[in-house]
Structure 1
């Protein structure tokens, strides 16, 4: 895997043009983050390498994340070119393969583990859970899961896996009309799980199961995708490096520049029995 098995030099705070980490280490020098270099010991899994997930992966790679697991079963096509990250010559490659190719060129220090799988299938779900514990390199379990999928069933699969593993995760989404989105933090037992109350239902009363309709082409704006990815990764960095305030739920409506924010507590009557069990622990 790209970046794996190499002895990395310490992140230097030296302010020179040849140091790729100088501006990141400045966060430590300015007192924003206590130990920025600890990011190299962190592992993040990104499920869904589309418009939000691929950009989030690039941001984490540029931030110097230690290990990045990437999941998707789809391939790059020309219809993806209105978004950020992928390039026309990558059409036909799986999204995880194309992402690993691009990201290894951006920062070879990052250990990249691409998984081409569908987490909603029975075999894919079990393989997904196993990889969250060890990855493909039999290393330690992940520190955080970022869900960047675009359908209800995949979100429920990520939710179930994280409940079973007692794994904290962050969920994200962009609306079908491409003008709004959200991020949400979900720590089993402490926060609402996805089955307690899906975030788009919280924000607008929309049944999310209707958002991916057969024959309907969802709109896609790279601006909205980039904003949601930035909010997601910023929240992930705060969680991983213990600085600032980690957001429970943050919505984004571009038409009115509206950012609703709230904390969503677990539902004691959640339909998911494992969620109720985590609440009782």
Structure 2
């Protein structure tokens, strides 16, 4: 009779075989779908025809919202965390025609993820980055994709993560244009924060609460705005291992609606930042219970625990000091001079002299230079 350990080993072998079968089937489906793909488009067109996948996007240029929408194809965005927010974010950017997407995640697709958007049941068992790439490439073959199936918080992987965001741009050897944090834990956020502070890389952080009814996005410019370590959550400030806070059998809630809203707000600000239109929010929250959207801006903390953050702050101060000052010329107001007083105040009566005389009584004889403030109306006889 087989022992428990032998049975567990056999279960793992069967699970691996199942994953391989699913991957093989997914590859076959992908090959079949590629036969039905539209050809790649070299240049975006604003031609209004049903066969143009960019006509609605290029309309933003025609309507004066965006000056040069085609520039979207020159940017590279790295998405860390391809879960409920990250997968939808990646899909939106793909549909918008972003030049290149680099996806980082080490998790697998599970049936428990089906309450969210994007992933499908037949992808269960595949790595999230692999499943995402298959779907996204089918949506828009014009976008370049790069995937990394690993945890960025380990020492070796963190070094590779730094290398890819430094040199993995659309033009190999150049840095990415923006990093999006769509992770669900503080450890990964701090890893991204550390990398971006050291490299001076601008990034956007996002998150959804454990009760699934609130979320936020935050633009972080090293040295200029508060980094994630400048005003860290209590769990980070107290140096607590977040793994000890999780309870067995209890998982965080998840709503596709909240995650969709947060992803939409995130991508909207990504487009505004990259294409330079509108106002990019430094921090924008979302409370689903009251449909409340709080905003704020947080300055960098001079006593931040991150050494590279403090270095970036000094660099920012130097750049600001070297920037030419814009002189504001104040126009001198024309001095008002009034013959009666220094304040230019004049009281004007709305009653004419004739009306005043008719309504007034007899004016007494007074010495020269003295006048009455008011007169007593003449008595009116009642018939």
TM range (shorter): over 0.9
Change in CA separation of 1:212 and 1:78 when aligned onto 2, cut-off 3 Å: farther
Distance (Å, rounded) in 2 between the aligned partners of 1:26 and 1:37: 11
Change in CA separation of 1:208 and 1:214 when aligned onto 2, cut-off 3 Å: same
Q: Is the 8 A contact 2:80 2:103 kept in 1?
A: yes
2:167 to 134, 145, 152: 134
1:56 maps to 89
Does 2:211 align with 1:177?
yes
Change in CA separation of 1:208 and 1:54 when aligned onto 2, cut-off 3 Å: farther
* Shift, 1:118, TM fit: 0.5
Farther off after superposition, 135-144 or 231-240: 135-144
Change in CA separation of 1:87 and 1:234 when aligned onto 2, cut-off 3 Å: same
For CA contacts below 8 A with separation 6 or more, give which structure has more relative contact order: 1
1:152 maps to 186
2:106 maps to 73
Change in CA separation of 1:78 and 1:151 when aligned onto 2, cut-off 3 Å: same
Q: Is the 8 A contact 1:235 1:247 kept in 2?
A: yes
Distance (Å, rounded) in 2 between the aligned partners of 1:73 and 1:241: 31
Distance (Å, rounded) in 2 between the aligned partners of 1:244 and 1:212: 40
Does 2:130 align with 1:86?
no
1:124 to 125, 146, 157: 157
User: Any idea what the Cα deviations from partners look like across 1:54-113, whole Å, max 9, x if unmatched?
Assistant: 000000000000000000000101010000000010011100000000000000000011
Distance (Å, rounded) in 2 between the aligned partners of 1:15 and 1:64: 17
Q: Is the 8 A contact 2:300 2:313 kept in 1?
A: yes
* Shift, 1:141, TM fit: 1.2
Let me know the Cα RMSD of the aligned residues: 2.0
2:231 maps to 197
Does 2:53 align with 1:12?
no
* Shift, 1:53, TM fit: 0.1
Greater percentage in strand: 1
* Shift, 1:39, TM fit: 0.4
Distance (Å, rounded) in 2 between the aligned partners of 1:208 and 1:261: 30
Change in CA separation of 1:180 and 1:211 when aligned onto 2, cut-off 3 Å: farther
TM-score by length of 2: 0.68
Distance (Å, rounded) in 2 between the aligned partners of 1:72 and 1:164: 22
Higher Cα radius of gyration: 2
Change in CA separation of 1:212 and 1:219 when aligned onto 2, cut-off 3 Å: farther
What does 1:179-258 align with in structure 2 at a 5 Å threshold? Answer: 179-198=213-232, 209=242, 213-215=246-248, 216-258=250-292
Change in CA separation of 1:29 and 1:247 when aligned onto 2, cut-off 3 Å: same
Counterpart secondary structure, 1:262: coil
TM-score by length of 1: 0.92
Distance (Å, rounded) in 1 between the aligned partners of 2:105 and 2:166: 18
Farther off after superposition, 7-16 or 255-264: 7-16
Change in CA separation of 1:167 and 1:211 when aligned onto 2, cut-off 3 Å: farther
1:204 maps to none
* Shift, 1:143, TM fit: 0.1
Distance (Å, rounded) in 2 between the aligned partners of 1:267 and 1:185: 15
